[in-house]
């Protein structure tokens, strides 16, 4: 029979005493240490559990989607000497009324069922060494080619030409917007982030308001049938929160144009960056939780960063870039001849010069070390598509070659090289004009053929463009390929074109110029 040891301090234990007369009862101090240890351990377990649940909660707030819903593929910049690469993030603001909250903020309840438009589009480029960055906008009414997009449910939207860039969102979602930018820039874009009306309001409130400035009393009066946000601000600097922050980002007429709106958006984002860095919110746990709640509720991102830790790590990378090395600009545009009062076209070759600088990871400001043109990486050539039975045979690919360089026999030389390589249907064609950049244009459904030709000639992804329905490819040789039969990139430009009006995010003296029309936008 097994004996049971009496519990120290119980009745039996009280009757029994050690021979030396001391009690078996444990010292009181040791009992309290044990209680404290158990309590502390329980608190830690409960705290970690609550922290994990909150982490799950924040992750659950984030909406995620496919990064690229098109067949466009951009070129990646070669790593620097330390193996680092630049970071490209597309930032999108949508006017979707897809929720009651957004209807209340944006009005137009009758538009609640229509797909949102991407009225704000900016490419954030962060240098490989994280010493500089740029925020580059394209106005929403700029006419571009939107590539074929496949939405998350499998629906296909065919490529369209001469279409406002803000309509890309309605043709598949943010992944279609990213694919459109990939086509325009020739760049591989790492991620997208999208925010709607309610997200802007939540973030402005979480930050504590964002200081903005106008050069006179302004009132963007709402007029039925004409628009207007009803934003009313006194001359000077005002900290906007809530709906006023949203109105600031949506105001256009008071600035005179859509280009003015992109400038106001840059001013707002730059001011928010300064506010976050100077307020201490990023180091205060309570305020940081408030920011995290607002940010995760506000964001739609691609699946590659749809996780709180990944967003936190990304934020830490972005934090490294000083405001004085963050350049803001809107791409140069011209009036669209088909609709000069309302639509815009990209101004070439100026815009292409910007994309080349981003690809070569050249700083867009003049505050860093002098850029070396000879150090520019060459664009990665398009890889040949699958080499199996499904790959297009070279002998079946019809391609015409035109000379846009002004140099005699350039088209003939390249055509001969193609025929020698097996493209027996290659032929020269008159025309070509004067071109700054080489372009290989292909019709819908002909991308695989274009990739075979591009791979043979060493052309970068940025040289390919889909247009029309022709089964014959068209190669126009530009001034960037003046000799040889294998493409070699010209040195990247080291300065922005003179048509660009750029600023940096540390400029706290920026003030928007109100463009009065009678007393319509002033009071």
Select from 429, 437, 449, 424 the least CA-distant residue to 482. Answer: 437
Q: Which domain CATH number covers 352?
A: 3.40.630.190
d(CA 409, CA 413): 6
Q: Which domain CATH number covers 469?
A: 3.30.70.2390
Which residues are within 8 A (CB) of 196 and not within 5 positions of it... i.e. 6 or more apart?
A: 93, 94, 95, 96, 98, 99, 102, 116, 298, 300
The alpha carbon torsion through 454, 460, 466, 471 (nearest 10 deg) reads -10
d(CA 64, CA 302): 5
Together in a domain, 158 and 296: yes
Asked if residue 26 is part of any domain, the answer here is: no
Together in a domain, 125 and 236: yes
Token pair in block for residue 140: 């929403």
Together in a domain, 224 and 332: yes
Asked if residue 511 is part of any domain, the answer here is: no
3-state SS assignment for residue 334:
strand
The pLDDT value recorded for residue 381 is 59
Asked if residue 220 is part of any domain, the answer here is: yes
Asked if residue 58 is part of any domain, the answer here is: no
Whether the CB-CB separation of 77 and 186 falls below 8 Å is answered with: no
Together in a domain, 289 and 337: yes
Whether the CB-CB separation of 381 and 455 falls below 8 Å is answered with: yes
d(CA 472, CA 266): 43
Q: Which helix (H) or strand (E) holds 299?
A: strand 299-302
**CB atoms inside a 10 Å sphere around CB 371:** 17
d(CA 392, CA 471): 13
**Burial of 226 from C-beta contacts in 10 A (0-12 / 13-18 / 19+):** exposed
Start-end of H helices in 66-121: 100-106
DSSP 192-252: EEEE-HHHHHHHHHHHT-EEEEESS-EE---BTTTB----EE-SEEEEE-HHHHHHHHH--
**How far is Cα of residue 213 from the mean position of the Cα atoms in its chain?**
26
DSSP 439-475: EEEE-TT-HHHHHHHHHHHT-BGGGEEE-SS-SSEEE
Q: Which of 477, 495, 514 is the last residue of a domain?
A: 477
pTM of the model: 0.73
Q: What is the sign of the dihedral through the CA atoms of 482, 487, 491 and 496?
A: positive
Structural domain span for residue 400: 394-477
d(CA 137, CA 166): 12
The pLDDT value recorded for residue 137 is 96
Together in a domain, 316 and 425: no
Token pair in block for residue 392: 């297009």
Together in a domain, 266 and 411: no
Together in a domain, 211 and 353: yes
Whether the CB-CB separation of 161 and 152 falls below 8 Å is answered with: no
d(CA 245, CA 238): 11
The pLDDT value recorded for residue 384 is 60
Asked if residue 303 is part of any domain, the answer here is: yes
Per-residue pLDDT of the chain (523 residues; tens, 9 = 90+): 444 444 344 444 444 444 454 444 544 555 544 544 444 444 434 444 556 566 677 788 888 999 999 988 888 888 888 899 999 999 999 876 444 444 344 445 444 444 688 989 999 999 999 999 999 999 999 999 999 999 999 899 999 999 999 999 999 999 999 999 999 998 999 999 998 877 888 888 888 899 999 999 999 998 887 778 999 999 999 999 989 998 999 899 899 988 999 999 999 999 998 988 887 766 666 666 777 777 788 789 999 999 888 888 888 888 889 999 999 999 999 999 999 989 999 999 899 999 999 999 999 997 766 444 334 444 555 666 655 557 799 999 999 999 999 899 999 999 999 999 999 999 999 988 888 889 999 998 898 999 999 999 999 877 888 888 899 999 999 988 989 999 987 778 889 999 999 999 999 999 999 998 877 788 8
Together in a domain, 299 and 428: no
CA triplet 339, 345, 348: central angle to 5 degrees?
Answer: 145
Together in a domain, 206 and 349: yes
The pLDDT value recorded for residue 231 is 94
d(CA 481, CA 478): 6
d(CA 80, CA 365): 19
Whether the CB-CB separation of 212 and 248 falls below 8 Å is answered with: yes
In 47-110, the DSSP E strands lie at 63-65, 87-94
Asked if residue 201 is part of any domain, the answer here is: yes
Together in a domain, 229 and 169: yes
Residue 166 is given by DSSP the state G
The pLDDT value recorded for residue 113 is 47
**How far is Cα of residue 509 from the mean position of the Cα atoms in its chain?**
26
d(CA 316, CA 312): 6
The pLDDT value recorded for residue 233 is 96
Asked if residue 486 is part of any domain, the answer here is: no
Together in a domain, 285 and 353: yes
Residue 93 is given by DSSP the state E
Cα–Cα distance list, 382 to 83, 206, 324 (Å): 22, 45, 36
d(CA 295, CA 367): 31
Number of domains the chain contains: 2
Together in a domain, 234 and 277: yes
The pLDDT value recorded for residue 367 is 79
The pLDDT value recorded for residue 387 is 52
């Amino acid at each position: 029979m097994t004996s049971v040891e009496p519990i120290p301090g119980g009745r039996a234990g009280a009757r029994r005493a050690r021979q030396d007369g001391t009690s078996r009862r444990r010292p009181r101090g040791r009992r309290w240490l044990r209680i404290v240890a158990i309590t502390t351990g329980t608190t830690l377990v409960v705290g970690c559990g609550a922290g994990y649940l909150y982490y799950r909660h924040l992750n659950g707030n984030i909406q995620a989607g496919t990064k690229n819903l098109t067949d466009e593929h951009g070129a990646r910049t070669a790593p620097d000497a330390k193996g680092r690469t630049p970071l490209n993030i597309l930032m999108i603001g949508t006017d979707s009324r897809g929720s009651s909250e957004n209807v209340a903020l944006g009005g137009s309840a009758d538009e609640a069922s229509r797909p949102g438009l991407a009225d704000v589009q900016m490419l954030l480029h962060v240098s490989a060494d994280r010493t500089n960055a740029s925020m580059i906008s394209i106005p929403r009414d700029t006419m571009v080619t939107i590539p074929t997009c496949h939405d998350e449910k499998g629906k296909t939207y065919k490529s369209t030409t001469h279409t406002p860039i803000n309509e890309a969102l309605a043709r598949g979602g943010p992944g279609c917007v990213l694919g459109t930018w990939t086509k325009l820039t020739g760049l591989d874009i790492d991620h997208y982030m999208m925010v709607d009306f309610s997200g802007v309001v939540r973030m402005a409130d979480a930050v504590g308001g964002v200081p903005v400035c106008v050069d006179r009393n302004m009132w963007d009066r709402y007029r039925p049938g004409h628009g207007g946000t009803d934003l009313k601000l006194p001359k000077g600097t005002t900290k906007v929160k809530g709906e006023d922050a949203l109105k600031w980002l949506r105001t256009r007429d008071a600035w005179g144009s859509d280009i003015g709106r992109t400038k106001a958006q840059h001013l707002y984002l730059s001011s928010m960056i300064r506010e976050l860095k100077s307020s201490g919110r990023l180091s205060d746990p309570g305020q940081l939780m408030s920011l995290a709640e607002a940010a995760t509720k506000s964001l739609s991102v691609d699946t590659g960063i749809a996780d709180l830790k990944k967003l936190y790590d990304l934020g830490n990378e972005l934090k490294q870039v000083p405001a004085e090395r963050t350049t803001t600009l809107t791409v140069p545009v011209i009036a669209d001849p088909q609709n000069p009062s309302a639509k815009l076209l990209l101004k070439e070759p100026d815009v292409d010069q910007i994309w080349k600088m981003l690809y070569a990871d050249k700083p867009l400001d003049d505050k860093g070390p002098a850029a070396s043109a000879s150090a520019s990486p060459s664009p990665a050539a398009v890889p040949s598509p699958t080499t199996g039975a499904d790959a297009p045979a070279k002998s079946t690919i019809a391609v015409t070659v035109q000379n846009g360089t002004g140099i005699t026999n350039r088209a003939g030389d390249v055509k001969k090289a193609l025929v020698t390589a097996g493209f027996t249907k290659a032929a020269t064609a008159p025309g070509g004009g004067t071109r700054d950049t080489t372009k290989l244009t292909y019709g819908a459904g002909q991308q695989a053929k274009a990739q075979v030709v591009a791979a043979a000639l060493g052309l970068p992804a940025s040289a390919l463009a889909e247009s029309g329905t022709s089964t014959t490819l068209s190669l126009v040789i530009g001034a960037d390929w003046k000799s040889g039969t294998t493409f070699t990139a010209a040195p990247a430009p080291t300065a922005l074109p003179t048509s660009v009006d750029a600023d940096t995010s540390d400029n706290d003296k920026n003030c928007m110029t109100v463009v009065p029309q009678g007393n319509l936008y002033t009071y």
